[in-house]
Amino acid sequence: MPPLLFPEFAPDAPDLGDKAREASGVIPEAQGYRPFKALATTSSALTARAQGAAWFRAYDGTTKQMAGDATKLYSLASNTWSDVSRTSGGAYATDGTGNWRFAQFGDVAYATNGVDTMQSFTLSSSSNWAAASGSPPVGTYIGVVRRFLVLAKIASYPKRVQWSGDNNTTTWTSSATTLSDYQDLPDGGDITGFTGGELGVVLQESAVTRMTFEGSPTVFRFDKISNEVGCTVPGTVAAWDKLTFFCHRSGFYMLAGGQELRPIGRERVDRWFWGLLDQTNMHRVTAAIDPLNSLYVVSFPSGSSGTPDYLLIYNWKADRWSYALQTVEMVYAGATQQSYSLEDLDTVSSSIETIPYSLDSSYWTGSRQLLLSGFYTDHKSGAFSGDNLAATIDTQEMQMVPGVRSRVRGARPLVDGGTPSIAVGTRKSQQSAVAWSSARAINADGFVPLNRQSRYMRFRLTMPAASAYQWAQGIDDIDARGAGFR
């Protein structure tokens, strides 16, 4: 029979069909799956749980990473997080269910937590964060639309969007001259997210609104894109170029170009996600973009501890999903801050045997390499550039010989490295539970001897952690024969 290629991961779909119910520890691609790498931390620790992080590029070309916990803001240099909080005003008061959110306007970074006065940090000269000039309002969400700094969900006005003057972030009083103003949205519930760019996207509990610059006197036009779908989980909001991703009670969506709303999780991962999510600790959900691999990644907690232990992964170019088992405090989009020579490696680890990333990792190759990053539960940060995670991938369930029971005597994994194993899942009827055989490793010929008999079958490929491979594509050379009607 022809090779049985791995289908897309869609645990919401029926068992019998052309979808897989398992794709763990891998990146989904159109022609199979690639390994997903573990989080490898290299930094010193924050003093408390990370509640936000981002990277910035200063006018002088240097890259900075910033992070925040409940009471402090930090800057990363030489793998050390240093406290660069404000020097007046006392400790910050970020809520336990809140997060720091960041934006850059020119050479200045801005940070909001929905409680304290908006903070600013001049990237090329500041040594500490400080209250932003111009008496801006207290906002929860922040972004830049064209030449305006925008805040959303304003203090006592949870449906308000407010913007600075045109190319002037120190002016916030409504003015026909500076174009600073605000807009209260009439319905749709509280604002739950905001993304900027050429257009602004305002996400509410049950609405999505596009914010378009028009100039004086209206300044911005607000057009509702959706009157029912909005963002239920604020931490799932992430954007790249003209794409905005988020999750509503009805599932995951991607907004393209500020106008086309696509359900990307329907009949694939929506029910699976909501069935696993610890909704009591929904505030612990975070999301980030991995632009190098075209991935939207969501970390979420499945257990009652509230600690995120799953990563849900979507490749928007392949339009496919997968997931990974990885414990984190949060995920974020990071960037390298320096390049390394072999002589520099001792600043990261005392031994080349214990360096956290392989020598060909993009982590070492220079400033501004974009990396999917995260914090582990010890409050240390790093990139997802460690060893390949253990992987488990299923084929679809099918009748190997239509109409009769069949016996499978062996199969060959289509994997270009490592030591893969294959298990077989069987059941006599669609009412029966799946029974899995023990996983068996390949022999010297790259073949896996098997001996399983049933009417319905699926194959499961497993790869140990740290396996060296590039692609897992499917199962080939399946030795399947009819075994009668009973």
Cα separation, 277 vs 19, in Å, equals 22
Using the predicted structure, report yes or no on whether residue 426 has a pLDDT greater than 50: yes
Cα separation, 28 vs 24, in Å, equals 10
Using the predicted structure, report yes or no on whether residue 363 has a pLDDT greater than 50: no
Q: What angle do CA 20, 23, 26 make, to 5 degrees?
A: 145
| Domain closes at, from 383, 400, 420 | 383
Query: Model confidence over 427-445: pLDDT tens digits?
Result: 999 999 999 999 999 999 9
Q: Which domain holds residue 315?
A: 40-383
Asked if 166 and 26 sit in the same domain, the reply is: no
pLDDT at 486: 55
Distances (CA, A) of 370 to 3, 73, 316, 445: 36, 22, 17, 40
pLDDT at 482: 87
Asked if 26 and 46 sit in the same domain, the reply is: no
Model confidence band, residue 348 (pLDDT cutoffs 50, 70, 90): very low
Model confidence band, residue 485 (pLDDT cutoffs 50, 70, 90): low
Model confidence band, residue 149 (pLDDT cutoffs 50, 70, 90): very high
Asked if 377 and 409 sit in the same domain, the reply is: no
pLDDT at 352: 44
pLDDT at 120: 98
Asked if 315 and 171 sit in the same domain, the reply is: yes
pLDDT at 403: 85
For tokens 């896996």, the residue is 448
pLDDT at 342: 43
pTM: 0.92
Mean pLDDT along residues 239-267: 96
According to DSSP, the residues that pair with 252 across neighbouring strands are 247
Asked if 432 and 475 sit in the same domain, the reply is: yes
174: domain CATH number? 2.130.10.10
Asked if 397 and 262 sit in the same domain, the reply is: no
Mean pLDDT along residues 50-65: 94
The total number of structural domains in the chain stands at 2
Asked if 186 and 66 sit in the same domain, the reply is: yes
Asked if 337 and 442 sit in the same domain, the reply is: no
Residue of 269 and 305 predicted with greater confidence: 269
Asked if 240 and 213 sit in the same domain, the reply is: yes
For residue 460, the tally of other CB atoms under 10 A from its CB is 21
pLDDT at 347: 43
Asked if 441 and 466 sit in the same domain, the reply is: yes
Model confidence band, residue 341 (pLDDT cutoffs 50, 70, 90): very low
Per residue, the 3-state secondary structure of the chain, as one string, reads CCCEECCCECCCCCCECCCECCEECEEEECCEEEECECCEEEEEECCCCCCCEEEEECCCCCEEEEEECCCCEEEEECCEEEECCCCCCCCCCCCCCCCCEEEEECCEEEEECCCCCCEEEECCCCCCCEECCCCCCCEEEEEEECCEEEEEEECCEEEEEEECECCECCCCCCCCCCCCEEEECCCCCCEEEEECECCEEEEECCEEEEEEEEECCCEEEEEEEECCCCCCCHHHCEEECCEEEEEECCEEEEEECCCEEEECCCCCCHHHHHHHCCHHHHHHCEEEEECCCCEEEEEECCCCCCCCCEEEEEECCCCEEEEEECCCCEEEEEECCCECCHHHHHHCCCCHHHCCCCCCCHHHECCCCEEEEEECCCCEEEECCCCECCEEEECCEECCCCCCCEEEEEEEEEECCCCCEEEEEEECCCCCCCEECCCEECCCCCCEEEEEEECEEEEEEEECCCCCCCCEEEEEEEEEEECCCC
Which of 241, 371, 265, 271 lies closest to 319 in space, CA to CA? 265
| Domain closes at, from 340, 367, 383 | 383
pLDDT at 241: 92
| Domain closes at, from 383, 417, 445 | 383
Query: Model confidence over 116-145: pLDDT tens digits?
Result: 999 999 999 999 999 999 999 999 999 999
pLDDT at 474: 98
Upstream peptide bond of 217 is cis (omega within 30 degrees of 0): yes
398: domain CATH number? 2.60.120
Asked if 351 and 241 sit in the same domain, the reply is: yes
Average pLDDT, the chain: 93
pLDDT at 364: 38
Lookup: tokens for 300: 């979420």
pLDDT at 304: 83
CB 280 within 8 A of CB 231: no
Cα separation, 459 vs 426, in Å, equals 9
Of the listed ranges 39-43, 137-141, 398-402, the least confidently predicted one is 398-402
Using the predicted structure, report yes or no on whether residue 329 has a pLDDT greater than 50: yes
Asked if 394 and 376 sit in the same domain, the reply is: no
